[in-house]
Structures are given as C-alpha cells and as structure tokens.
Amino acid sequence: MNVIRSALFYAGYFAAMLVCGLLFLPPSPLLPLKSRYRLLNLYNHFILAWFRLTCGVRYEIRGRERLPEGPCVMLANHQCEWETIFLQLLKPPVCTVLKRELLRIPIFGWGLRLLHPIALDRSKPARAMKQVLTQGVQRLQEGLSVLIFPEGTRVAPGSRKRYNKSGAVIACRAGVPVVPVAHNAGERWPGRRWVKNPGTLHVVVGEPIATVGRTPEAVLADVEAWIEARLAEISEVPRPVGAEAPASEKPLV
C-alpha cells in the first residue's frame, strides 16, 4: 500500500512541478519579491497538501505563534526534502542557504533562483563561509528572514552531526533573534528512499532566542540543546547522545 501511495504522490509531485513551472515562472521576474514568493509558494502549498492526502500523513505543528514580527534566522534540523518545502511557508519571505547544484535542476532550480537564495559552492569551504556570512546579513537587512540547516547536510533520523555556528554568527552580527525549529519529517519522508511512511509528522517552533550582547557560541549551544531535546520528544527513532560528526563529515555552514 505504501508503494502505491508513494507512486501516486510522485506522479502529482512531478506534474505539479511541470504545470507550476509553465504557469508561474514566466511572470515571476516581473513581480516584486514578496509577490513572487506568494506565487511560487503555491507549489509548496500543493506538495504539502498532496503529501498529506496521498501518503496518509497527519501534520502536528506547534509554536507558530512564537515567530517574531521582524526578520529572524531560522535554524532547523535537516532530514529530508519536506522541511525545505514547509519552512519556505513558515515565515515568508525567507532566504534559504543551499548548495549551488540545486539551481541547475530544470524548472525547480529556475524557481529557486528567483527567491534570492544564498547558493554555496561546497567544494570551496572558506569562500562559502565568507559568502554565507556576508549575504546572510544583507538579506536580513533587506527584510528577509534566513533559513539555515546547521548540520549542513541531511541527517537520517536516529543520527546526529555537529552543528555549525554560521547561522548564529549571522544573527549576532545583524542583531536579530534565532528561531529554532525541530521536526521528524525524515520518518515520514525518508531522505534516501522514495517510499513514504504514513503517520504523524511533528514540527515544533521554539521561542525566539535573543542574540544581542551574546556570543554565537552561546546562542548555538542554546539552539542545539533545544532542538535535540524536542527531537527526543517527537522522534520515533531513539536519539544518540553527544555524537559528533567525524572531521571529514563536518558541515560547511
């Protein structure tokens, strides 16, 4: 049954990408940025609803009311594609830090380019770090929130990697709060398998963490402690304690 559900989901997923690409991409460059987000994010709304309908997934989202009025840096754990779709809708307009290769995907990547992401070449870590710090502050000053996955790559449920402090550095430099987000999306939408799993997908949004007068290290410690504590509560797969990525696997941003 899960195989049939997943096949139906992907049929709609790719059909929606094609239709939205043909209808939404041509007029998007002519629109102001906020209007562009609203138009292109119609695709995100459809995918989330289609995933829930076809794959038997129920969403439980807590803490939306905690989001601040102004721009912020959102730091979330990264398990699969689902959160990259959902978090675009949590506090738009939001600038996402992502790998440059995604911009080369036909239709999908073209739409991403129009949303002013921070696209990094991960083969050049020093340059990537400088880019994310500079452009991240610029985006916040322009009124956009910034989304960063501090683990730097997808991490399967039940695994853990070191959190990078670049998001906390950006927030401290700009004087904006950090909003931590925890979810178990990888248990419903496995990152390296196409078959989806029914059940409840939990998302928890934390209280904004102040950055003014604090060090990035202190802010990041609060973020990591909060996210890991929430994951221990909402995850079906047991969480490891105190694990850290080997040096060869440490994230760029």
Domain assignment present for 34: no
Burial string for 82-112 (b: 16+ CB within 10 Å, else e) reads: bbbbbbbebbbbbbbbbbeeeeeeebeeebb
Rounded Cα distance between 233 and 188, Å, is 16
**Residue 197 falls inside a structural domain:** yes
Q: Is residue 138 in a domain?
A: yes
- 30 domain-assigned: no
**pLDDT on residue 242:** 57
Query: Domain count of the chain?
Result: 1
119 within domain boundaries: yes
Q: Pick from 95, 89, 92: which is nearest to 48 by CA?
A: 89
Residue 94 within any structural domain of the chain: yes
Q: Which residues contact 243 (CB under 8 A, 6 or more apart)?
A: 159, 160, 161
> Counting Cβ atoms within 10 Å, is residue 253 exposed (0-12), middle (13-18) or buried (19+)?
buried
What pLDDT, on a 0 to 100 scale, did the predictor assign at position 226?
A: 97
Give the integer Cα–Cα distance in Å for 103 and 114.
10
pTM, two decimal places: 0.90
Is residue 52 assigned to a domain?
A: no
CATH code of the domain in which 207 resides:
3.40.1130.10
pLDDT tens for the chain, 253 residues: list them.
899 999 999 999 999 999 999 999 999 999 998 999 999 999 999 999 999 999 999 999 999 999 999 999 999 999 999 999 999 999 999 999 888 888 888 888 888 888 888 888 877 878 888 888 899 999 999 999 999 999 988 999 999 999 999 999 999 999 999 999 999 999 999 988 899 999 999 999 999 999 999 999 999 999 999 999 999 999 998 877 654 543 333 444 5
In a domain, 176, yes or no: yes
Residue 86's alpha-carbon distances to 39, 44, 48, in angstroms, are 15, 7, 7
Domain that holds residue 72: 58-249
